[in-house]
């Protein structure tokens, strides 16, 4: 009796190929899950990095605001010294007028010229104080302008942080869905295998 030259494959070899395909599918699925979680972790890192930069900028903003407030206080203190100088000038002007009226048109003496000199010195001090106060105000304004620029930069970092966090959440959700599907498939196959019926071919894993 002649034998068949191409005998059908035996049962164990077919079962072994099926197990091999299933194992490869599960490995690919778990690899995809790991990759998704890795990408999610990367976006989370970028989110926290942006938050860190924004926090440092906010600290610098508060420092500049404090410096600006101190400079404005110094300017106010300097300006507060001017009324006293103006009062001294007014008193010296009265003394000059009194001394001039006593001379009756005689040449101006050294006492009157000394009073004039003191008036000019006080006027110079007033101008110097005004300049000093305006310098403080200018420095304070520069720091205030810098805080406005830094505030825009900090807002951009916070917006970037929100976007990166949203991306991280999206990839985590995809990984969770894929993991749930993979674990459900494994549980179903284990239940089918225990029943003795052959398992159907597995579906391809969800792509990234």
Output the six-digit token pair for 61. 């903003």
Domain spanning 18-186, CATH class: mainly alpha
CA distance to 13, 14, 26, 71, 192, per residue, from 20 (Å) = 11, 10, 10, 77, 17
Q: Report the distance separating Cα 148 and Cα 65, nearest Å.
A: 10
User: Which pLDDT tens digit goes with each residue over 112-159?
Assistant: 889 899 999 999 999 999 999 999 999 999 999 999 999 999 999 999
pTM for this model (two decimals) = 0.66
Q: What is the rounded average pLDDT for all residues in the chain?
A: 82
pLDDT at 204 over 90: no
Domain ranges of the chain: 18-186
| Higher per-residue confidence, 20 vs 93 | 93
| Higher per-residue confidence, 74 vs 21 | 74
CA distance to 27, 48, 191, per residue, from 82 (Å) = 84, 52, 94
| Higher per-residue confidence, 39 vs 186 | 39
Q: What is the largest CA-CA distance in the chain?
A: 162
């Amino acid at each position: 009796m002649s034998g068949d030259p191409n005998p059908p494959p035996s049962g164990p070899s077919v079962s072994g190929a099926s197990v091999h395909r299933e194992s490869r599918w599960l490995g690919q699925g778990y690899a995809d899950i790991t990759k998704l979680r890795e990408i999610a972790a990367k976006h989370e890192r970028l989110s926290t990095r942006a938050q860190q930069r924004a926090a440092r900028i906010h600290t610098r903003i508060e420092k500049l605001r404090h410096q600006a407030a101190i400079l404005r206080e110094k300017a106010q203190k300097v300006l507060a010294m001017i009324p006293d100088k103006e009062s001294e000038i007014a008193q010296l002007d009265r003394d000059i007028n009194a001394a001039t009226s006593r001379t009756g048109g005689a040449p101006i003496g050294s006492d009157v010229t000394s009073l004039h000199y003191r008036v000019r010195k006080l006027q110079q001090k007033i101008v110097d104080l005004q300049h000093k106060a305006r310098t403080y105000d200018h420095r304070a304004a520069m720091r205030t302008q810098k805080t406005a620029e830094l505030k825009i930069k900090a807002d951009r970092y916070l917006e970037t942080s929100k976007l990166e966090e949203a991306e991280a959440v999206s990839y985590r959700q995809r990984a969770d869905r894929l993991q749930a599907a993979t674990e459900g498939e494994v549980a179903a196959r284990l239940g089918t295998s225990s029943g003795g019926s052959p398992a159907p071919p597995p579906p391809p894993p969800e792509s990234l």
